[in-house]
Amino acid sequence: MEYNKYFIIIVIFATIFGIFFAIFTNDLITDNITNNNVKNNTKDNKEESENINKDNIKEEEKYENKDSAKEDENENTNEDSAKEEDKINEEPSKSKKTIIAVSYSTDNSYIYPTIVSITSLVINSAINTFYNIYILHPPDFKEESKIFLNSVVNKYPDKLSIIYFNMGNKYKGLGLNFRITTPTYYRLSLHELLPNVNRIIYLDGDTAAFDDLTELYKLDMKGNIIMGFLDGFPESIKSFGFDKPTVVCAGVLLMDLDGLRKYGYTKKINDFIDRNKNKLAQQDQTIVNVLFQDKLGALPPRYGIWSFSKKEDAIGHNSKQWPHLKYDEKELLEAYAHPGIVHFVWPKPFWRKQTGYYKEWWDLARLTGFYDEIYNKCPRPFLRFLLNSYN
């Protein structure tokens, strides 16, 4: 009995000891597993962190490179534009295209008529004609305006290019009224901006081409430096002492840029503006008609004919000219029936219907892909009620 008593006590102590030993051992194992997990997790996290940092560094380098490229791209000066213009002049020539230089002066408020005019050039061009278009604009010209105009290039990359020139404060303070703004003067600087272009066709935004302009571009200028459609107010510059001068409308011009450079017209233009700021009744058009009077010629009437609503108006316009400058009536009526370029002097087709070639202008507007925008935003607010949609 005594033996059994001691045996039972030993078994009980052994059992208790076993339980404590098992608990203690399990804690050690758990601690080791936890420590190992912590170490492994720390190692994994460290490696992951290092990988993320490496990726971030690579990503930062990528963005830095992208930003640098963007900064380089944004450093687009007029000098760069001139270099790009040289490149464009070379490329089309390789494919035996007829390269025609055309320029517009515009601002954000006149983008819609301008895109219609540019579209008209492309739609009515010959197969081998390529237009290098130069847009002269003020410093507040929006990127959206460029994107809008560039849409034509995106649609017809084999027909035209567009290069922009920021004119800064050039001619600041001139031409400020509700009809004529400062950009109208920019055309007077084309010979400076484009040193490698020999001649150019200048167009206002409110024009539309209905034929290819190769014939106009290659026209014999007969020693003239500037040519335009005869204006309706031939006496507009008599105050400068001229008796029966040649007076042209500056909305469509064929300009000999070589001649402008050869005869040093940069200084002459600047000096003339300084002396006659208060006498520029027709703004830069007065400068063209006075300063170039001895080198000024009339274009064939089909290039720049006004948007006469009926042929009698065209004949009436001709009757206002000096006898020695009148257009041949037959030629004028042919131009009215089959114009090469129409200048929408007044009223504008985007204001109201009472103008010639109204339907044709809106047909061109449809081809831009922005008909709704042009219809809703093009008219000036105070003339909006006069506009009726062409259907």
CA distance linking residue 206 with residue 113, whole number of Å: 6
129-137 and 98-105 as β-strands: parallel, antiparallel, unpaired? parallel
pLDDT at 148 over 80: yes
Cβ burial, residue 10 (10 Å; 0-12/13-18/19+): exposed
pLDDT in tens, 358-384: 999 999 999 999 998 888 877 554 444
Band of pLDDT at residue 45, cut at 50, 70 and 90: very low
Q: Range of 336's domain?
A: 79-386
Please identify, among 25, 41, 75, the residue that sits at the C-terminal boundary of a domain: 75
Same-domain status, 375 and 271: yes
Which residues are paired to 102 by β-bridges?
133, 201
pLDDT at 245 over 60: yes
What does residue 354 show for φ and ψ, rounded to 5 degrees? -75, 65
Same-domain status, 159 and 254: yes
- Give the mean model confidence (pLDDT) for residues 330-336: 95
Sign, Cα dihedral of 179, 185, 186, 191: positive
Torsion of CA 310, 351, 317, 321, to 10 degrees: -160
Same-domain status, 57 and 88: no
CATH assignment of the domain containing 189 = 3.90.550.10
pLDDT in tens, 158-188: 999 999 999 999 988 776 554 567 888 999 9
391: in domain: no
Torsion of CA 387, 388, 390, 391, to 10 degrees: 160
Same-domain status, 43 and 89: no
Same-domain status, 237 and 356: yes
pLDDT in tens, 71-114: 343 334 465 555 555 554 545 444 589 999 999 999 998 899 99
328: in domain: yes
Same-domain status, 148 and 208: yes
Which residue in the block uniquely carries the two structure tokens 């690579």? Answer: 58
Q: DSSP E strands: which ranges in 299-390?
A: 303-306, 341-343
Please identify, among 14, 43, 75, the residue that sits at the C-terminal boundary of a domain: 75
Average pLDDT, the chain: 79
Same-domain status, 95 and 166: yes
CA distance linking residue 147 with residue 60, whole number of Å: 29
User: End-to-end alpha-carbon separation of the chain, Å?
Assistant: 124
262: in domain: yes
pLDDT at 278: 78
199-203 and 98-105 as β-strands: parallel, antiparallel, unpaired? parallel
pLDDT at 315 over 70: yes
- Give the mean model confidence (pLDDT) for residues 340-350: 87
What does residue 104 show for φ and ψ, rounded to 5 degrees? -125, 145
Domain count, the chain: 2
Whether 351 and 386 have beta carbons less than 8 Å apart is answered as: yes
Same-domain status, 70 and 87: no
Could you write out the DSSP letters of every residue in 41-74? HHHHHHHHHHHHHHHHHHHHHHHHHHHHHHHHHH
Same-domain status, 84 and 50: no
Helix then strand then coil, in percent of the chain rounded to 5, is 55, 15, 30
pLDDT at 390: 41
| Residue of 259, 335, 336, 343 whose CA lies nearest to 296 | 259
Same-domain status, 69 and 86: no
Same-domain status, 188 and 231: yes
